[in-house]
Amino acid sequence: MKKKKIIIAVIVVCAAILSMAAFGIRNRSLESTADVQNNVLSSKSKHNTALEKSNDDKSCKYKDESTDKCKMEAGNKSKSSTSPAAQTQLQSKTNSSNTSASQTQTFTGYITTEDDFAAGLHEDTADMVYMKLMAEAGLGITFQQAGKWVFYYFDGTIATKNTSGADGKWAFDGTGSQLNAWNIVGGQVKAGKGKSPVPVTVKGVLKGNTEVNPGPDTDGKSFQVITVESINGN
């Protein structure tokens, strides 16, 4: 009877041990399976994250490249559209400057000399202009511009102090437009109109060159010179 109880006890203990062993194995299996699943999920998550990041990077890169390309195209279009206009404007300004510098102008006023103008006589009489001292100051034209009297020299050589005339007297030795103006004044004096101003119309070009009274009573002031194309008494 005692031996039977021992056998039963041994069987119960073995059954308990086997049951505990089986339970432990099952738990390990479940834990292993869970670990595998977690690892798989983690791996997938990491892969998806990496993929999303890669896609985002590619998207950003594409957007950046697209933006840069758009900027470059916009810049090129802007340059393409504005450069010709700017060049045309520059050429226009250059041509305008050249044209204004060489354009023939018409001047209407009175023949006078720098001495007369400096004295404020403006449209002086033919008798006063037709004098040696006046001629040596240089002839030109005077007229009102914006309410102010202005003076321009005629081109040509201004008469000098000399004794090359008959009997060693002074003679007008100016040339070019200086001589033409002198003859117009002389013609009016000889016509008996010496007490009147000498009205003329002059066509010519202002090239930017200036002249200073070279006579004995010079004031050192400079005035623009008209390159005369024609000069006619009115």
Confidence of residue 22 (pLDDT cuts 50, 70, 90): low
Q: How far is CA 219 from CA 93, 150, 232, in A?
A: 37, 16, 29
Tell how far CA 40 is from the center of its chain.
Answer: 69
Range of lowest pLDDT (36-45, 143-152, 183-192): 36-45
Q: CA 157 to CA 179: how far, in whole Å?
A: 8
Cα four-point dihedral sign 171, 172, 175, 180? negative
Report percent pLDDT > 70 for the chain. Answer: 57
pTM of the complete model = 0.58
- pLDDT of res. 13: 62
For the chain, give every domain's residue range.
1-101, 105-233
pLDDT in tens, 78-113: 444 444 444 434 443 444 444 455 799 999 999 999
- Residue 200 near residue 188 (C-beta atoms within 8 A): no
pLDDT in tens, 190-217: 999 999 999 999 999 999 999 999 999 8
* End-to-end Cα, the chain, rounded Å: 169
Q: What is the DSSP pairing of strand 148-154 with strand 139-145?
A: antiparallel
Confidence of residue 69 (pLDDT cuts 50, 70, 90): very low
Q: What is the 3-state secondary structure (H, E, C) of 153-175?
A: EECCCCCCCCCCCHHHCCCCCCC
pLDDT in tens, 148-163: 999 999 999 999 999 9
Q: CA 105 to CA 226: how far, in whole Å?
A: 9
- pLDDT of res. 51: 43
- pLDDT of res. 157: 97
Confidence of residue 132 (pLDDT cuts 50, 70, 90): very high
- Residue 221 near residue 212 (C-beta atoms within 8 A): yes
Q: CA 139 to CA 200: how far, in whole Å?
A: 13
- pLDDT of res. 106: 98
Confidence of residue 180 (pLDDT cuts 50, 70, 90): very high
- Between 146 and 17, the more confident residue is 146
The strand pairing partners of 201, in sequence order, are 108, 232
Residue with tokens 């990041």: 53
- pLDDT of res. 234: 86
